[in-house]
Amino acid sequence: MPATDRQPNVRYMAGFFKRERDVLAAVREARRAGLQIHDVYTPFAVHGMDRAMGLRRSRLTWIAFVAGVMGLAAGLALQIWTSVYDWPLNVGGAPFNSFPLFIPVTFELTVLFSGLIAIGMLLIRNRLWLFSKRRVFDRVTDDLFVCVIKQSDAASDAEEAAKVFTRHGAIRVTEGDQFV
Amino acid sequence: MSFKDFISDRERRALMGLLALGALGFVAGWLSHSARLWPGFLLNAFYFLTLALGAMVFVSIHHVSNAGWSTAIRRIPEAMMGYVPLGAVMMLLTFFGRRAIYRWTHEAVVHSDGVLSVKAWLLNTPSFFARMAIILAIWIAFMALLRRESFRQDEDGRLEHTMRSKKISAVFLVVFALTFSLASFDWLMSIEPEFYSTIYAFYCFSGLFVSGIAAIAILVIWLRRRGFLPEVGEEHLHNLGKLIFGFTTFWAYIWISQYLLIYYANLPEETIYYIRQMATPGWYGLFLLNLFLNWIIPFVILLPRQAKRREGWLMIACVIVLVGHWLDLYLMIFPQIGAAAMIGPYDLMLGMGFTALFLYTFLRSLKQAALLPVHDPYLQESLALGSHEAEAGVY
C-alpha cells in the first residue's frame, strides 16, 4: 500500500469498523463517490480489498524475482569459484565441477535472497522497519478495521467521507493525521 | 448411455480412427515380433492408469481437506476415475508380454544371477501378477465407492454422503500410498531388477499427481470452451494452475533428490539406472528434454499470475506436462531393457489408441451423472469463488 509522507493542510478522515464486510462496502462506496482512499488498516489481509481500493499490481513480485536470480547466481558463483578454481579438492574421485552437488546450496540461496530481500523491501516501502516511528491505530492489530480517506480539493470531502462511514456502520469517525 | 452431447459425430469418428490406429500398431508390432511392443504397451497402460489414479487422489484430497472450491469441477476427475477398471485390464494384459519386459521372468537368467535368485521369492511370475490383481482390485473398489457416494447425493441430497466420502477418501489415501509404492516397485522398478531406489515410488507418485491435475485442467478447459461448465471461472483455473505449478516443482524436487543421492553415493547397482539414460547422445538428449518438459518450461510459463488464469497458457503448460510425463515413463522403461533411443511408431500408435480409449471411457463416465454435484453442501462456496460474497467471508 502506498504510504506517502504526511502533507500539510490536508485533512484525513478515519472510519472505524467492527466487521470486514462493512469496511469492504464502505471502501467500495467511497471510491464510487470519488473520494480518495489514503489507506485501509486491517488486522489481517482482507480478500478483495486490493480490488476494492483499486490498487495497482504490486511490484514486489519483480523484486522477489530479481533477488532470486541474484541468489541463484551468487550460489553458483560461490561454489564454482571455491571448488573448481580457487581450491579444488579431490573428494572420493568426483570431478571438481560436480554440478549436481551444487544444486541444493544454489536452491537455498535463491530462496534466501528472494525471501529476505522481498521482506526487506516490503518493510522499507510501508515504512515499518525496526524502530520506525510510525504509529498504528489502537486495536487495528486486534479486531478493528480502519479506512482512512484523504481530502482532495473539494472542501466537502471530509463530510462526505463521514457520511459514507456512518452509513456502513462505522462505530467511530475521527479526523487527524497523527497516524498517517 | 450416450455421450453425443459432448462431441460431434466427426470427433467421434476421429476417436474411432485413433483407436483403430492403436489396434493396428499393436497387431503390426505383434506380427513383426518387435521387442519394443510390450514395453510400449506397459508404458501406455501405466501412463493412462496413473491419469485416472491422479484424478482419484485429487478427489480424495478434496474430500479429506474439506475443500470447497473444487466442488464445481469434481465431476471431471470423477469421470476420469471411470477409466480405472479398463486401465486395470490393460495392466493385467502385460502378463502376455512379461518375457519381453521383465528379465527376471527368464529362469535361466535368474539361476545364473546370484542377486536375482535371492529376489526370486518376490519377483516370480505367479506372485507378481497376483499382487497386481489384488492392488488393481483394491483401487477399483475405492473408485466405485467414491463414485457411488457422490452420485447418490445427487438423488437424495443427504449430508451423510459427504461424511462417508470423507472417510472413504481418508482410508483410500493411506491404502493408496502403500499399494502404489508396491505397484511402482513391482511394475516399473523391477524392469532393472538389480537396481533399487527407495524414493522411486514417491517419484512415480509426483508424476502421477501432476499429470492427473494437468489432465483435469485440460478436460475442464475443453468442456468450458464448448459451453459446458459455465459456472467454472477464472478463479477455478487459477487454483488448478497453482497446483500444477507447485507440483511440477515438487516433481523436480523429487527428481533431484533421487538423482543427487545416486550420483553422490556412486554405487554400481544404483548408477546403472542413470548410466543407461545418459550413455548415448540420443538417450542423453531425451534425459535433458525430460527436465525441460516437466519442470523448466511449465515453471517459466506458469510463473506469472495471469498465465495461471488464462485458458490458453494453462492449456499449453498442461499439454507440455502431459507429454513430459509420457517421456518420463519412457525413460524409466526403455533404457532399462537396453533399447535404442528412438520413440518408435508402435509406442506412438499405442499411445494414440490409449488416448482414444481413455477419452471414450471419460465421456461415457461423464454422462452417468450431472456435470455439477447439485446437492453437495460445498457447491455454493465453489460457485461463489472469487465473488464479493466469498471474499467477504459469507461462506
- Give pLDDT tens digits for A22-55: 999 999 999 988 888 888 999 988 888 888 898 8
Q: Dihedral of CA B251/B254/B260/B266: which sign? A: negative
pLDDT of residue A144: 92
Closest partner residue to A101 among B264, B305, B394, by Cβ?
Answer: B264
Q: How many CB atoms lie within 10 A of CB A160?
A: 17
Residues B181 and B205 in one domain: no
- Of B298, B133, B276, which is closest to residue B214 (Cα–Cα)? B298
Q: How far is A103 from chain B, CA to nearest CA, in Å? A: 9
Q: Is pLDDT above 80 for A179?
A: no
B288 touches chain A (CB under 8 A): no
Q: Tell me the C-alpha distance between B110 and B113, whole Å.
A: 5
Would you place residue A140 in the very low, low, confident or very high pLDDT band (cuts 50, 70, 90)? Answer: confident
pLDDT of residue A2: 45
A179 DSSP 8-state letter: T
For residue B388, being part of any structural domain is answered with no
**Yes or no, beta carbons of A24 and B391 under 8 Å apart:** yes
Q: Tell me the C-alpha distance between B250 and B258, whole Å.
A: 12
Helices (H), B310-375: 311-333, 345-367
Instruction: Collect all residues of chain A within an 8 Å Cβ-Cβ radius of residue B296.
Output: none
Greatest Cα pair distance, chain B, in angstroms, is 71
b/e for A84-104, b at 16 or more Cβ within 10 A?
eeeeeeeeeeeeeeeeebbee
Q: Tell me the C-alpha distance between B82 and B365, whole Å.
A: 6
Q: What are the sequence ranges of the domains in chain A?
A: 12-56+136-175, 60-125
DSSP per residue, A100-111 = HHHHHHHHHHHH
Residues B146 and B285 in one domain: no
Q: What percent of chain A has pLDDT over 70?
A: 90
b/e for B47-59, b at 16 or more Cβ within 10 A?
bbbbbbbbbbbbb
- Of B288, B253, B294, which is closest to residue B274 (Cα–Cα)? B288
Q: What residues form DSSP beta bridges with A41?
A: A146
The answer to whether B116 touches B110, Cβ cutoff 8 Å, is yes
Q: Identify which has the larger pLDDT, B182 or A126.
A: B182
For residue B27, being part of any structural domain is answered with yes
The answer to whether B45 touches B86, Cβ cutoff 8 Å, is no
pLDDT of residue A1: 42
Residues B236 and B112 in one domain: no
Amino acid at B160: E
The answer to whether B182 touches B131, Cβ cutoff 8 Å, is yes
The answer to whether A177 touches A8, Cβ cutoff 8 Å, is no
User: CB within 8 A of A111, min separation 6: which ones?
Assistant: A68, A71
Residues B51 and B98 in one domain: yes
A2 touches chain B (CB under 8 A): no
Q: Is pLDDT above 70 for A85?
A: yes
Residues B120 and B220 in one domain: no
For residue B372, being part of any structural domain is answered with no
Q: Tell me the C-alpha distance between B176 and B81, whole Å.
A: 14
Residues B178 and B318 in one domain: no
**Yes or no, beta carbons of A104 and B390 under 8 Å apart:** no
Q: Tell me the C-alpha distance between B144 and B153, whole Å.
A: 14
Amino acid at A76: L
pLDDT of residue A155: 64
Give the chain B residue nearest A50 (alpha carbons): B391
- Of B85, B88, B59, B79, which is closest to residue B359 (Cα–Cα)? B79
Would you place residue A141 in the very low, low, confident or very high pLDDT band (cuts 50, 70, 90)? Answer: confident
Q: Tell me the C-alpha distance between A4 and B335, whole Å.
A: 62
Residues B316 and B363 in one domain: no
pLDDT of residue B82: 96
Residues B189 and B211 in one domain: no
For residue B375, being part of any structural domain is answered with no
Residues B34 and B155 in one domain: yes
For residue B391, being part of any structural domain is answered with no
Residues B200 and B176 in one domain: no
Structural domain for B334, as ranges: 195-343
Q: Tell me the C-alpha distance between B322 and B318, whole Å.
A: 6
Q: Average pLDDT in the A165-173 region?
A: 90
Rounded to the nearest integer, the mean pLDDT of chain A is 86
Architecture, CATH, for domain A12-56+136-175:
2-Layer Sandwich (3.30)
Q: Identify which has the larger pLDDT, B166 or A134.
A: B166
Q: What residues form DSSP beta bridges with A148?
A: A14, A39
Question: Which parts of chain B register pLDDT below 70?
Answer: 1-4, 387-395
The residue whose grid cell reads 447439485 is B374
- Of B54, B39, B49, B2, which is closest to residue B244 (Cα–Cα)? B54
- Of A81, A14, A23, which is closest to residue A52 (Cα–Cα)? A23
Summarize pLDDT for B286-338 with one digit per residue, the tens: 999 999 999 999 999 999 989 999 999 999 999 999 999 999 999 999 999 88
Say how many domains are in chain B.
2
Q: Tell me the C-alpha distance between B390 and B395, whole Å.
A: 6
Residues B207 and B181 in one domain: no
A117 touches chain B (CB under 8 A): no
Mutate to test the interface with A, among B239, B253, B391 (most CBs of A within 10 A): B391
The answer to whether B214 touches B322, Cβ cutoff 8 Å, is yes
Residues B213 and B277 in one domain: yes
Q: What percent of chain B has pLDDT over 70?
A: 97
- CA angle, residues A31, A35, A37, in degrees to nearest 5: 75
The shares of helix, strand and coil residues in chain B, as percent rounded to the nearest 5, are: 80, 0, 20
**Yes or no, beta carbons of B260 and A101 under 8 Å apart:** yes
Amino acid at B196: Y
**Yes or no, beta carbons of B388 and A24 under 8 Å apart:** yes
A21 touches chain B (CB under 8 A): yes
